[in-house]
Chains A and B, each alone.
Chain A
Amino acid sequence: MRTIALCCLALALAAVETGAAAPAFSLPDQTGATRSLAEAKGSWVVLEWLNHDCPFVKKHYAGNIQKLQQDLAAQGVVWWSIISSAPGKQGHVDAAGAAAQMTAKQSKAAAVLLDPEGTVGKLYGAKTTPQCVLISPEGVIVYQGALDSVPSADVADIGTATNYVAQAFAEASAGKPVSVPESKPYGCSVKY
């Protein structure tokens, strides 16, 4: 292929099917505790791929995502941000750094999980930050893709966009079919 940068054959991105079981994983969080998807079974879970240096993440962390995290937490949803940036690459932080960011950005996530090897990112086919996955209490993927419907780095677009995560949760938790079960994610590439 005519490429600018040769890519090394690292672990390939998997594809997770909406409607299939969410793949099991465990990762350390910003306090050093281990979090596993198994411990959250019985709750709705949101996974949100994160890199605070990415302009698309900054767009949503200007208040939009914190509000959603808070609204969903009030309804019992477990929200985990995941940082899959490799050491030395943009967005990578250690546990202390992740904890400091949570405070500085007023994140309302339950935890930030550290995935510097990129194992869980690639397991879930995470391509961009932000990118979200909504998992039912039964452990099934109900939605995956973009946080909302307007691909841009402009905060002004949030007001006119449909928030796919909020919408999927509202529909699925009420037992209704999810109108948008998957969308193309937008953002900066995950820095594996």
Chain B
Amino acid sequence: MLAALLACALAASVPQVEVDLAAVPLAGDGTVDLALRLRIDEPWHVYWLNPGDSGLPIRVTWTLPEGATVGPLGWPAPLRFAAEGLAGYGYQGEVVLTARATGITDPRTIAASVSWLACAEACVPGRAEVTAQVDPAAADRVAAARSEIPSAPTVEDLHVAEVTRADGVLTIQTAGTLAAAQTDAYPLPIDGLIIDHGAITVAAQHIAIPLRGNAHVLPLVVRCGARTFTLDVPIPP
């Protein structure tokens, strides 16, 4: 009994992250959809493309056969993890990153080297090597993950109306039918900008991002409830 309790306690201090890679061959033309799935034990989380104030993004390095190519990873919109004035962006439970490969005759020749940082109170780096398993049923998983990737909104739905910058804060006025329903915003990583993610505020038609440095554009994911969109926000000097 004591050994079991001890094993339980030890297990809780090490995050369990299971990684698998499913390949969905399309139309027999050498194109394959890939679903890289990470399943993470509670209460740990892993990080988005922009981890936020701390953490590290999931990193994927593909191994492909000669002549094959793979497109960029599709990242589902993250959640915000906030504590004591700091914020990170990432995933709990499960996340599926998607990609499309071409020039593939045998999907089992696709492999991925994956690394991540899993955090709860502590942080533990992890890595895994996975090889693709052909799984036509994973088409559903690919479609579901892709539906969670932020998309460009129509102007009618959401657009940037005005941007000002003063006293270290970028203030964005948005407009469109969804602008009153915006609930959160996640900046994409841009060289040259240092953003205070824990101090971002979002209200109807109004987003305030404390930042320093310079860049021409800040790509921003805006969440309106369950839907997420990408906006390119021009930055005044």
Q: Which residues of A line the B interface, CB within 8 A? A: 1-8, 10-13, 15, 17, 53-56, 89-90, 118, 122, 125, 127-128, 145, 151-154, 182-184, 186-192
Q: Which of A6, A12, A127, A192 has the most CB of B within 10 A?
A: A127
Q: Of all chain B residues, which has the CB nearest A184?
A: B194
Interface string of B116-151 (1 = CB under 8 A from A): 010101111100000000000000000000000000
Selected A-B contacts with CB under 8 Å, 11 pairs: A2-B183, A2-B223, A6-B82, A90-B122, A118-B84, A153-B123, A182-B212, A187-B54, A188-B54, A189-B53, A191-B121
9-residue interface stretch from B23-31, B32-40, B195-203? B195-203
Tell me if B56 is interfacial: C-beta within 8 Å of chain A. Answer: yes
Which secondary structure characterizes the binding site on chain A?
Answer: loop
Tell me if B88 is interfacial: C-beta within 8 Å of chain A. Answer: yes
Among A17, A89, A128, contact of B54 (Cβ-Cβ < 8 Å)? A128
Among B81, B124, B168, contact of A5 (Cβ-Cβ < 8 Å)? B81
Tell me if B184 is interfacial: C-beta within 8 Å of chain A. Answer: yes
B interface residues, tally (CB under 8 Å): 35
- For the complex of A and B, list the 3 residue pairs with the smallest distance between their C-beta atoms, beginning with the closest: A192-B84, A189-B54, A7-B82
Q: Which residues of B line the A interface, CB within 8 A? A: 45, 53-56, 79-88, 92, 117, 119, 121-125, 168, 183-184, 194, 196, 198-199, 202, 210, 212-213, 223
B202/A53 in contact, CB under 8 A: no
Q: Of all chain A residues, which has the CB nearest B77?
A: A2
**With A15-B168, A182-B212: A3-B79 Cβ-Cβ less than 8 Å:** yes
- Determine how close the nearest CB of chain A comes to the CB of B187; give it in whole angstroms: 12
A117 to B133, alpha carbons, bound, how many Å? 51
Among B79, B84, B199, contact of A2 (Cβ-Cβ < 8 Å)? B79
Q: Of all chain B residues, which has the CB nearest A9?
A: B85
A21 to B196, alpha carbons, bound, how many Å? 20
> When A and B form their complex, what is the total count of cross-chain residue pairs whose Cβ atoms lie within 8 Å?
101
A182/B168 in contact, CB under 8 A: no
Q: Of all chain A residues, which has the CB nearest B225?
A: A2
B85/A7 in contact, CB under 8 A: yes
Among B45, B83, B184, contact of A1 (Cβ-Cβ < 8 Å)? B184
A127/B86 in contact, CB under 8 A: yes
Among A12, A56, A89, A152, contact of B85 (Cβ-Cβ < 8 Å)? A12
Given A7-B84, A90-B122, list of 14 further CB < 8 A pairs?
A1-B80, A1-B202, A3-B81, A5-B83, A7-B83, A15-B168, A53-B122, A128-B54, A183-B194, A186-B56, A188-B54, A189-B86, A191-B84, A192-B86
A53 to B125, alpha carbons, bound, how many Å? 13
Instruction: List the B side residues contacting A151 at CB < 8 Å.
Output: 56
Instruction: List the B side residues contacting A191 at CB < 8 Å.
Output: 84, 121
Among A10, A17, A184, contact of B84 (Cβ-Cβ < 8 Å)? A10
Instruction: List the B side residues contacting A127 at CB < 8 Å.
Output: 53-54, 86, 198
B83/A189 in contact, CB under 8 A: yes
**With A7-B198, A15-B210, A53-B122: A190-B86 Cβ-Cβ less than 8 Å:** yes
Instruction: List the A side residues contacting B125 at CB < 8 Å.
Output: 55, 153-154
A182/B194 in contact, CB under 8 A: yes
